[in-house]
Amino acid sequence: MQSVHNLKTDFDLEVVNFMELPESEELYRTLARAVDQSASSVAITDTEGTIEYVNPKFCENTGYDLEELIGRNPVKDSCSQFPDIFGDAWDTVTACGEWRGDRQSRRKSGGTFWESVTISQIRNGENEISHYLVVREDITARKKAEYELQKNKAELLMKHEQLNSLFQQVERTKKEWEGTMDCIGDIVILTDSEDRIKRCSKALLELTNEPYKGISGRNWRELLSEHGLPVPDPTSPGTELCHTASGKWFVLNAYPFTDSSSNEVSGAVITLHDTTVLKQFTSELEKAYSDLKSTQAKVVQQEKMASIGQLAAGVAHEINNPMGFISSNLGTLGKYIERMSDFIQAKSDAIESMPDKEIAEALRSKRKTLKLDYILEDGRELIKESLDGAERVRTIVKNMKSFSRVDEAECKPADINECIDSTINIVWNELKYKASLIKELGDIPLTGCHPQQINQVIMNLLVNASHAIEERGEITVRTWHENGSIFISISDTGCGMTPEVINRIFEPFYTTKDVGKGTGLGLSITYDIVKSHNGEITVESEPGKGTTFTVRLPIVEGE
């Protein structure tokens, strides 16, 4: 079977003298054995999709021999009888560089199985795509377990519904309550099969202010309707009725019962439970619970942001230390290479002046064979690139520390433009695939605020703008100041919002996103933060044309 060793000449890996070192060769062989012995199916194709390598696990899972796979191209020859490595992912991989997902595959024998597939690019020393790597893991057992779980859940739900039905049947078959009607505060009515009143509790007499003889034999629906309690027909269990004269609320239930001798429905028990006080308490409790839930969610969100900020500051601090000596060591290494270059050049000049031309020529040949001139020049470039990378890391760390601002929890003078820049760098990975960013930051003064909270406002608005763009669009960030206030404007070219959505956009837990993709707290928290800074936030939007959020913060002189 072909191994990874046989692919060494196919990959354009230009690492100077790397394969000449015994340690690197041994490492390469170890990596080759690791791929060959991997428990996951591994395949490597060229940039056109032609299979160049598969490991033994790939053949074992699919049932195909190595000779049936090597040299085949599933992209160009989709009707061939061999595994479709890329499926519908080829366009995605060539465009975006990576694809992950689960899919059902077919073995040579015709059987099917589920796989978790990861397809990614392999790049050479010039950062060019040279191959594609396909890693597949058999997840058939996991899929089967998920199916069984759903099946058991459905059976449990069905049994639960059957149990509820049984409880309702027990409730409807309660026996007559003769001797108890006058002992309870609820309105209780016993009717015959024609809905005529046979008996009733005192509560009905008090509600209607009529004598028992005037009520007996009357249709109970008509009686209640005459006294301000219109009953809908048919009546569903738990129907709520409001008595207009007194403002009381009742819950109406009807319980039919059967005659023991004829086994036919011979009447019903009608109950009207006074829920006025309960309804008031329930309404107050629901409001209190909603307020508590909103407050708790906001506190949790703020604590989470504080924790993230503290973590970011800690990571920034820990990264700064090693980056300091890495940059210093790279600078020193550059100086060493320059000294070595001067020394080699001095030796070359001395060799040129030697009378023995054969020795001089041999030394020149050795210098050329060892590629010393290339190594020195490439070493300078490597150090330069490494120093540039170290500086980029420093910038990212600086932005993380600026974004977290753990040491600035209190109100302090802050540069809003700096807050915007640091926040953009933090959420850039969320924005770069969805939109082009346009910054028009004006010359604005410092203002007293809570920088960490302002960072959160900017982050929420930028992320919302990104989510509003379905494919590719633009996000514009502007700042200016006038009339003693600083203004922050964030616009997007996304899907926009209707006036109905705009009216509710700042309500806690209100979201237009799919279930599980949004909590509905982002803009609510943003609104509260802006209000706590004595500012205001407005929104302008039109469906299909985008949205603009504008934040106004009053300029507060530094303490």
User: What is the spatial distance between Cα 16 and Cα 7, in angstroms, rounded to a whole number?
Assistant: 19
One fold for both 4-138 and 409-554? no
- Would you tell me how many other CB atoms lie within 10 Å of the CB of residue 178? 8
- Say how many CA atoms lie within 13 Å of 158 toward its Cβ: 6
Per-residue model confidence (pLDDT) at position 174: 47
- The answer to whether residue 535 scores a pLDDT higher than 80 is yes
Per-residue model confidence (pLDDT) at position 477: 94
Q: At the topology level of CATH, where does 181-274 sit?
A: Beta-Lactamase (3.30.450)
What does the pLDDT average to over 324-334? 78
The position carrying tokens 């354009």 is 12
Per-residue model confidence (pLDDT) at position 485: 92
- Considering 32-46, 72-86, 231-245, the range whose residues carry the highest mean pLDDT is 32-46
- The answer to whether residue 16 scores a pLDDT higher than 90 is no
- The answer to whether residue 98 scores a pLDDT higher than 50 is yes
User: What is the spatial distance between Cα 307 and Cα 409, in angstroms, rounded to a whole number?
Assistant: 12
* Residue type, position 56, single letter: P
Per-residue model confidence (pLDDT) at position 514: 54
- Estimate to the nearest angstrom the gap between the alpha carbon of 479 and the chain centroid: 29
Q: Do 234 and 246 meet the contact criterion of CB atoms below 8 Å apart?
A: no
Query: 316: which DSSP letter?
Result: H
- Would you tell me how many other CB atoms lie within 10 Å of the CB of residue 485? 17
Q: Which helix (H) or strand (E) holds 116?
A: strand 112-123
User: What is the spatial distance between Cα 377 and Cα 369, in angstroms, rounded to a whole number?
Assistant: 15
CATH number for 409-554 (one of 3.40.50.280, 3.40.50.300, 3.30.1360.120, 3.30.565.10): it is: 3.30.565.10
More confident residue, 215 or 170: 215
Per-residue model confidence (pLDDT) at position 515: 45
User: What is the spatial distance between Cα 204 and Cα 330, in angstroms, rounded to a whole number?
Assistant: 94
Per-residue model confidence (pLDDT) at position 172: 64
Q: Do 133 and 127 meet the contact criterion of CB atoms below 8 Å apart?
A: no
Packing angle, helices 276-352 and 372-404, rounded to 10: 160
Structure tokens at 181: 């009607």
What does the pLDDT average to over 43-62? 88
The pLDDT tens digits of the residues spanning 109-128 come to 888 888 888 999 888 888 88
Question: What values do phi and psi take at 160, rounded to 5?
Answer: -65, -40
- Pairing outcome for strands 51-54 and 41-46: antiparallel
Q: Which helix (H) or strand (E) holds 324?
A: helix 276-352
Q: Do 414 and 454 meet the contact criterion of CB atoms below 8 Å apart?
A: yes
Angstrom CA distances, 27 to 19, 41, 71, 367, 542, stand at 10, 21, 27, 28, 60
What does the pLDDT average to over 135-163? 88
Structure tokens at 390: 């170290």
Angstrom CA distances, 316 to 309, 385, 423, 483, stand at 10, 22, 15, 38
**Where does the pLDDT of residue 520 fall: very low under 50, low under 70, confident under 90, or very high at 90 and above?**
low
The position carrying tokens 């040129």 is 352
User: What is the spatial distance between Cα 522 and Cα 537, in angstroms, rounded to a whole number?
Assistant: 13
Q: For 379-412, give one letter per residue: b (16+ CB within 10 A) or e.
A: beebbeebbeebeebbeebebbbbbbbeebeebb
- The answer to whether residue 248 scores a pLDDT higher than 80 is yes
The position carrying tokens 């099946």 is 151
The pLDDT tens digits of the residues spanning 488-509 come to 999 999 888 888 888 888 776 6
Q: Do 54 and 132 meet the contact criterion of CB atoms below 8 Å apart?
A: no
Q: What is the mean pLDDT of the chain?
A: 79
Per-residue model confidence (pLDDT) at position 317: 62
- The answer to whether residue 17 scores a pLDDT higher than 50 is no
User: What is the spatial distance between Cα 4 and Cα 506, in angstroms, rounded to a whole number?
Assistant: 57
User: What is the spatial distance between Cα 342 and Cα 297, in angstroms, rounded to a whole number?
Assistant: 66
Per-residue model confidence (pLDDT) at position 441: 92
Q: Is the peptide bond before 234 cis (omega within 30 degrees of 0)?
A: yes
What does the pLDDT average to over 350-361? 76
- Would you tell me how many other CB atoms lie within 10 Å of the CB of residue 118? 15
The pLDDT tens digits of the residues spanning 537-546 come to 999 998 988 9
User: What is the spatial distance between Cα 190 and Cα 220, in angstroms, rounded to a whole number?
Assistant: 9
Per-residue model confidence (pLDDT) at position 490: 93
Per-residue model confidence (pLDDT) at position 271: 86
- The answer to whether residue 242 scores a pLDDT higher than 80 is yes
Q: Which residues pair with 538 in a beta bridge?
A: 550
User: What is the spatial distance between Cα 54 and Cα 7, in angstroms, rounded to a whole number?
Assistant: 11
Q: Bin 495: left if φ > 0, else alpha if -120 < ψ < 50, else beta.
A: alpha
Angstrom CA distances, 270 to 30, 208, 219, stand at 83, 16, 12
User: What is the spatial distance between Cα 552 and Cα 43, in angstroms, rounded to a whole number?
Assistant: 56
% residues pLDDT > 70 (the chain):
81
Q: Do 190 and 197 meet the contact criterion of CB atoms below 8 Å apart?
A: yes
Question: What values do phi and psi take at 516, rounded to 5?
Answer: 90, -5
The position carrying tokens 């004006």 is 442
Q: Domain 4-138 carries which CATH code?
A: 3.30.450.20
| Choice among 132-136, 147-151, 221-225, 555-559 with the minimum mean pLDDT | 555-559
| Residues in CB range of 57: below 8 A, 6 or more apart | 38, 39, 40, 41, 42
Per-residue model confidence (pLDDT) at position 432: 85
Q: What 3-state DSSP class applies to 312?
A: helix
Structure tokens at 448: 């007293």
- The answer to whether residue 291 scores a pLDDT higher than 90 is no
Q: Which residues pair with 490 in a beta bridge?
A: 477, 549
In the chain, where are the structural domains located?
4-138, 181-274, 280-404, 409-554
Structure tokens at 465: 């703008």
Q: Is the pTM of this model over 0.85?
A: no
What does the pLDDT average to over 359-364? 78
User: What is the spatial distance between Cα 10 and Cα 165, in angstroms, rounded to a whole number?
Assistant: 70
User: What is the spatial distance between Cα 203 and Cα 201, in angstroms, rounded to a whole number?
Assistant: 5
Radius of gyration from C-alpha coordinates of the chain: 39
The pLDDT tens digits of the residues spanning 381-430 come to 888 888 777 776 776 666 655 555 544 456 788 889 988 988 888 788 77
